Amino acid sequence: MAFVIPKETYSGKVYPVTIGTGDNAVTFGGENVLPFNGFEGSTPNKPVIAYEIQDIPPSDWPENVKKPFEAVSGDPVKWAKHCQDTLGARAIALRLTGTHPDRENLSAGDAAKTVKDVLSAISVPLIILGSNHAEKDSQVLVACAEAAKEKNCVIGKAQEANYKTIVAAAMANNHKLIAMSELDINLSKQLNILITQMGFDKERLITDPMSSALGYGLEYTYSVMERIRLAALAQNDATMQPPMVADVGMYVWKIKETQALEADLPMWGDLAKRGVLWEASTAASLLISGAELLIMRHPEAVQAVEKFISEMS
């Protein structure tokens, strides 16, 4: 008697989300099975990786992740074009770090100009991220949403403290939206409900349950993301069915393991390889937990994860 692989079937489905315009638009989500379990159902779209860039030089990035971009990171337009044309990025994530009041405190107008300049230079989809200062982001992301009108960008991140203005801007300018809560499935569900009650289409929403790096609470992040995905599929919970984003790079490249010198901790091995492996391992783990969109930094880590996605798919 031939062996028959046991299969699970689910009543729910993750919403597919398309970002960008024209031939370079990309779609992620849309599956009705757990990650990489295509033998059980439909997985029409592979996960998408976006390269992170900033509006200001990344002075707070470790040397090993600054180095690949040292010739272009002084100009966000050149940086974006390098990621698209040289590295083959499928999407760009522009983080407006310089708008934070504790950094350069750039204005909403400055940010809007940067968004326009970057959009004019690239053809791949753009993800527009604030500085994670709730009050300032509510000004900056409104201006940026208007500057990118009808470009089908992703605007983020809307949080409980500022979601109303950001949701309204995303709706008015026809963008997708990232909703971020702090590692709690109930908070994530509540925020998604509040946003959709404003009239925002749940099929244009992307959930950010908040990420963490390997060794820094990854197990908890994994558990929350897994529960969100199971709620979407097994319980057919429409509020949990938007695809998820994992903002990997910003969490990985600030921890000790990606920065500690070999002279101080020789048992940890080669620093350059260590950082790349840490980002790739974190990203792969979050893919398995349910993320469909990744935001990453180091080109070698991106290449490793792209290979992982190809092999697992």
Quick one: pLDDT at residue 1?
Answer: 75
Does the pLDDT at position 71 exceed 80? yes
Q: Is residue 145 part of a domain?
A: yes
Banded pLDDT at 112 (limits 50, 70, 90): very high
> Residues near 233 by Cβ (< 8 Å), separated by ≥ 6?
10, 11, 12, 13, 14, 32, 33, 34
Average model confidence (pLDDT) for the chain? 96
Does the pLDDT at position 2 exceed 90? no
- CB atoms < 10 A from the CB of 311, how many? 8
Ramachandran angles phi, psi of 44, nearest 5°: -70, -20
Banded pLDDT at 244 (limits 50, 70, 90): very high
Quick one: pLDDT at residue 230?
Answer: 97
Q: Is residue 263 part of a domain?
A: yes
* CATH number, position 64: 3.20.20.20
Quick one: pLDDT at residue 212?
Answer: 94
**Of 54, 55, 171, 51, nearest in space to 109 by CA:** 55
The whole-number average pLDDT for the span 203-214 is 96
Q: Is residue 4 part of a domain?
A: no
Q: Is residue 8 part of a domain?
A: no
Mutual angle of helices 185-197 and 218-233, in 10-degree steps: 50
Q: Is residue 5 part of a domain?
A: no
Quick one: pLDDT at residue 211?
Answer: 93
Quick one: pLDDT at residue 290?
Answer: 97
Quick one: pLDDT at residue 129?
Answer: 98
Quick one: pLDDT at residue 4?
Answer: 85
The two beta strands, 17-19 and 291-296, are unpaired
In contact, 172 and 201? CB cutoff 8 Å: no
Instruction: Residue 241: give the domain boundaries.
Output: 17-312
Banded pLDDT at 3 (limits 50, 70, 90): confident
Does the pLDDT at position 115 exceed 90? yes
Does the pLDDT at position 189 exceed 80? yes
> Residues near 137 by Cβ (< 8 Å), separated by ≥ 6?
99, 130, 131, 157, 162, 166
Q: Is residue 9 part of a domain?
A: no
Does the pLDDT at position 238 exceed 90? yes
Domains in the chain: how many in total?
1
In contact, 155 and 187? CB cutoff 8 Å: no
- CB atoms < 10 A from the CB of 194, how many? 16
Q: Is residue 152 part of a domain?
A: yes
